[in-house]
A and B are shown apart, each in its own frame.
Chain A
C-alpha cells in the first residue's frame, strides 16, 4: 500500500534532518568546540527512517556508536541531541552521555552504544518485556556489519528465536567494520544467511532505498506483532564520512565517497522516485529542506550558547556515594 503524501513528506523530513544534522556536525567539529568522538550516519538515513517510520514511542530501539540517525528517526529532540553532543547541561542526558551514548526513554530509545554488539541483547530483553506485557510493541536492534561478528549478537539472536521475542535485528552493512572492510571481516558476507541459521526469517534489501527498507520492515513487524518471533533485515548501505570524524579513510578508494554520493544517496533516490511518480513535488521537498536547515541552525546556535554542567552535576544520578 503506497504511503500517503503526508507520511512521505515526514519520511523525507526525517532523512533530511539526519543528513543536515550530520553534515553540519562535520563542519562544527572542526571548530574544536565539540568534545569527544563523533561517528556520522550520513548515507545511511534510509535505513533508520525506513525502520522507525513504522514505530511509535512505545516501541524500542537499541542503537550503535553511529547513533544520531537512529535517535532522530525515533523522534528524539534534535536540539536536545545537539546540546548533548556539545556536552551541555540541558542535553538529553545532561551532557553525561555525549554523541556515543544518547538515550531517551520517553522515545523508546534505549541508547546509542559505543560497545560494538552491546545493544542487541538489550533490545531482545526489551522485546521479551513487550511479550510478557502483551502490549503488542516490538524492539529493534540496530547494528553494523562489524557487530554481526560479536558473540553478544549471536547470543541475542538465538535467545530471541528460543523465546520467540518480538525483536527485529537490523544490520546496516556500510562496508566497513571501523577501518577494516566487511568483505574481509564478515565471513560469507551474508548476514541474512547467518540469521536464517539461527532459525529466523531474514531478508537483504537496498539500504539506500527508503521504500525497500520500509517494505522489509513492514514484513518483519507483521511477524513480530503476530507472535511470529524475531527476524532480520540486512540493509546494504554506505557511509559518506569516516569511521569517526578525523579518520583519514586510507582504506577507501579516493573517489569512493564521491561515487557513492552520486549513486547511493538515499535522499536523491527518494526525491527522484516521488517526483517521477507524482507523489510529491519539488516545491514541497524544497520547503522541507529550508525548514530543516533552519532547525539545524537553531539547534547549533542553542548548543553553542547553552550552559555547561556545573561540577556539582558530576555526582548526581548515582545511587551509591561514599
Chain B
C-alpha cells in the first residue's frame, strides 16, 4: 500500500492497465506531452509512447467518436474530457452511438470505452468548469455511470471500468482530487495522506461497478450521497452528533438499490445530497426508487439537498455549493418530522 492522492491513484490505474493490456489506449486534450491539466496522465506518454497516449485536438465529439471506433475495432480506449463541462459536443456520439452499440447490434459489437471527466464545484470554476452532469448520462439507457469519492475507489473503479465490456462514464469529483473536502473553504486544504482511503495498492485490483459503500453506519437517518458530498455529509453528521448512516452511491448506473433500500428501511429517514441542480437531477431518481421500496418504512418524506436550479455562478461559490450548513439544516428538519 502507498499513500496516493486521487490523481495519483487514477494515474496508477491507467499505468497498470497500459502495462497489462496492449489494447488499452488513452486519448484526450493535453493528456500526452503535457500530462493532463490535473496531471492524471503525467508521465504515461513518455513511458508508453505517443501511439498509446494520444494528444488530440480540441474536439470532444471527435475524441469520443474515435474512441467508439477504436473500441469496435478491438482497442480499449480511455478518453479524457478535460472538464465535464466540455462533454456536450460529444453528447450525440455518447447517446446515439456509444450507448446503443451493444443493443442495436444484438451484442455483435460492444463498446468498451471509458470516458474520464472531472466534475463538480468548489474550485471557483464558474459556469463552465463546475458542473455535475451525471444525471443527464444516468438517464441514457446503455451507459454505466460512476463517481468515486476517494483514491482507493478511484483506482479500483477505473480499472474495473477499463476492463468492462460496456461504456462507462467515469466522473471524477475534482474538488477531492488532492484531498478530502468537508465543505469548509476557510480550512487549510487537507491531503489524502493519512486518510484510510488514501492508502492504495500499487498493483492491479478492482472495486466493482454497481456497488454502493456504507461509509458510516448508523440507525437514525440515512444520508445517500456521492462524490465530494460524501465528505461534506460526513462532516455535517459529525457536527450534529447524529446516529446517521452515510451511503456513498459510487455507481449511479447500475444502482445498488438493495444496499440503499436496506439502510432506509432500517432508519426510516433519508436525505439525498448532491451538487448537481435539483430539478430532474439524479437525486430525483434516488428518491423515487427509494420510496417505491421503502414507503411503508418511512417516518418522513425523503428530502434532497442539491445545487440551485441556476447555472453555476462565478461569485457565489459557497452559496451555490451545497455545503455543511445546508446539509445540517436539512438533517435537523428531517429529524423533527414524526409520522
List residues of A whose CB falls within 8 A of some B CB: 35-37, 84, 87-89, 91, 93-101, 114-117, 146-147, 149-152, 177-180, 184-186, 250-251, 308-309, 311, 313-315, 318, 320-322
Contact = CB atoms under 8 A, between A and B. Distances in A.
Contact of A116 (B58, B125, B313, B314): B58
Interface stretch (B17-25, B195-203, B241-249, B315-323): B315-323
Nearest to A181: B33
B313 A37 contact: no
Contacts of A94: 315
A98 B58 contact: no
B126 A97 contact: yes
Contact of B126 (A89, A100, A186, A308): A100
A117 B58 contact: yes
Contacts of A184: 55
Contact of A250 (B34, B61, B278, B308): B34
Contacts of B29: 177-178, 180
B48 interface: no
A177 B278 contact: no
Contacts of B308: 314-315
Given A37-B125, A180-B33, A314-B310, 15 more contacts: A35-B315, A36-B126, A95-B315, A96-B313, A115-B128, A146-B58, A150-B89, A177-B58, A178-B58, A179-B33, A180-B57, A185-B56, A311-B316, A311-B319, A322-B278
Residue of B33, B88, B279, B315 contacting most chain A CB atoms (<10 Å): B315
Contact of A149 (B59, B311, B315): B59
Contacts of B91: none
A115 B33 contact: no
Nearest to B312: A96
Contacts of A178: 29-30, 37, 58, 82
A66 to B, nearest CB: 13
Contacts of B89: 117, 150-152
A114 B278 CA distance: 24
Interface string B49-93: 000000111110110000000000000000000100110110000
Nearest to B310: A318
A309 B315 contact: yes
Residue of B58, B59, B314, B320 with most partner-chain A CB within 10 A: B314
B315 A308 contact: yes
A185 B57 contact: yes
A97 B312 CA distance: 9
Contact of B124 (A36, A91, A117, A250): A36
B190 interface: no
Cβ-closest 9 pairs across A and B:
A98-B314, A95-B315, A87-B315, A149-B57, A114-B128, A179-B34, A35-B124, A185-B57, A146-B58
A101 B127 contact: yes
B309 interface: yes
B309 A147 contact: no
B155 interface: no
A183 B56 CA distance: 12
Interface in B18-50: 29-30, 33-34, 37
Nearest to B65: A151
Contacts of B317: 35
9 contacts: A37-B129, A84-B314, A87-B314, A94-B315, A98-B126, A151-B59, A180-B30, A185-B58, A315-B308
A292 to B, nearest CB: 26
Interface string B121-133: 0001111110000
A199 B61 CA distance: 24
Nearest to B317: A35
A88 B315 CA distance: 7
Contacts of B30: 178-180
Nearest to A91: B315
Nearest to B59: A149
Contacts of B278: 322
A36 B58 contact: no
B95 to A, nearest CB: 16
Contacts of A309: 315-316
A256 to B, nearest CB: 15
Interface in B233-287: 278-279
Nearest to A96: B313
Contacts of A146: 57-58
Contacts of A116: 58, 86
A179 B33 CA distance: 9
